[in-house]
Amino acid sequence: MRLYDFSWSGNCHKIKLFTSIISLPIEIVPIDLLNAEHLRPPFQDLNPLCELPVFEDGTTVLRDSAAILVYLARRYGGEAWFPTEPEEMAQICQWFGTAAANVNFGPALARGARHFGYPADNAMVTRVSDRLFLALEKHLSSREWLELRRPTLADVAMFPYMASAPEGGLSLEPYEAIRHWIGRVESLPGYIAMPSVVAA
């Protein structure tokens, strides 16, 4: 099993975090995103969209962090992480959409703009982030995990860019429930931290 990885990518980190939590060894293949290695063969041959992460398991080649997480959970992680019961599965999947939209265009983009020069409308990023933080704070004020009263792929999918929001200049200090949830994820056996761009 092989993960094509950029160490500061939250989407790549989701895969490393989950495989570490379930004690699944994988080979990490670094891709130099800053020098556009992802835009050239041989990586471009794996994913013509030229995006990370990409995951290989034998002859199976997958792109997109949510798809990779689903594959890993169903093949190696067990029912608890991504159940087959329709309502429970849907409750988790809705957070994939939140991660791809609200998180991606909020805290993830704020971090990317600050440290990697991604183009961003700062006012829009702030609006998206504020709305997300308020909704997530309310959701987590009455529960420990995003869904099903236990850690699931929902938590893994949401975690990296939420935890790194301060690297984009977005304070989590007003959001006690979010900070406590971050702490619970960090306390999971097998947890690994994403490298900080700030420290780099």
Task: Choose the final residue of a domain: 60, 77, 94.
Answer: 77
| Residue 54 and residue 15 in contact, taking contact as beta carbons nearer than 8 Å | no
Question: pLDDT value at position 33?
Answer: 82
Q: How many domains is the chain built from?
A: 2
Say if residue 132 is in the same domain as residue 61.
no
Mean pLDDT, rounded, for 98-114: 97
Say if residue 95 is in the same domain as residue 182.
yes
Q: Which two tokens stand for residue 135?
A: 């909704």
Tell me if 193 is assigned to some domain: no
Helices (H), 54-152: 65-72, 86-98, 107-116, 122-140
Task: Choose the final residue of a domain: 77, 103, 119.
Answer: 77
59-100 pLDDT, tens digit per residue, is 999 999 999 999 999 999 989 999 999 999 999 999 999 999
Say if residue 67 is in the same domain as residue 129.
no
The residues that bridge with 30 in the sheet, in sequence order, are: 5
What is the rounded CA–CA span in Å between residue 124 and residue 180? 27
Mean pLDDT, rounded, for 96-124: 95
Say if residue 120 is in the same domain as residue 157.
yes
What is the rounded CA–CA span in Å between residue 127 and residue 29? 36
Mean pLDDT, rounded, for 157-183: 98
Question: pLDDT value at position 172?
Answer: 98
Tell me if 160 is assigned to some domain: yes
Question: pLDDT value at position 177?
Answer: 98
Task: Choose the final residue of a domain: 56, 77, 98.
Answer: 77
Tell me if 198 is assigned to some domain: no
Tell me if 143 is assigned to some domain: yes
Cα-trace Rg, the chain: 16
Tell me if 194 is assigned to some domain: no
Cα dist from 129 to 6, 38, 137, 159, 165, whole Å: 24, 28, 12, 14, 9
> Domain containing 140: what range?
86-186
pLDDT confidence of 199, banded at 50, 70, 90?
low
Tell me if 11 is assigned to some domain: yes
Question: pLDDT value at position 171?
Answer: 97
Say if residue 71 is in the same domain as residue 97.
no
Say if residue 136 is in the same domain as residue 164.
yes
Q: Does 3 score more than 80 pLDDT?
A: yes
- Which domain CATH number covers 154? 1.20.1050.10
Please enumerate in sequence order all residues whose Cβ is within 8 A of that of 23, keeping only pairs 6 or more positions apart, or say none: 190
Q: Does 200 score more than 60 pLDDT?
A: no
19-60 pLDDT, tens digit per residue, is 999 999 999 999 988 888 898 898 888 888 989 999 999 999
Tell me if 197 is assigned to some domain: no
Query: Is the previous residue joined to 42 through a cis bond, with omega within 30 degrees of 0?
Result: yes
pLDDT confidence of 196, banded at 50, 70, 90?
confident
Helices 122-140, 176-186: inter-axial angle, 10-degree rounding: 80
Tell me if 71 is assigned to some domain: yes
Q: Is 117 left (phi over 0), alpha (psi -120 to 50) or beta?
A: left
Q: Does 198 score more than 80 pLDDT?
A: no
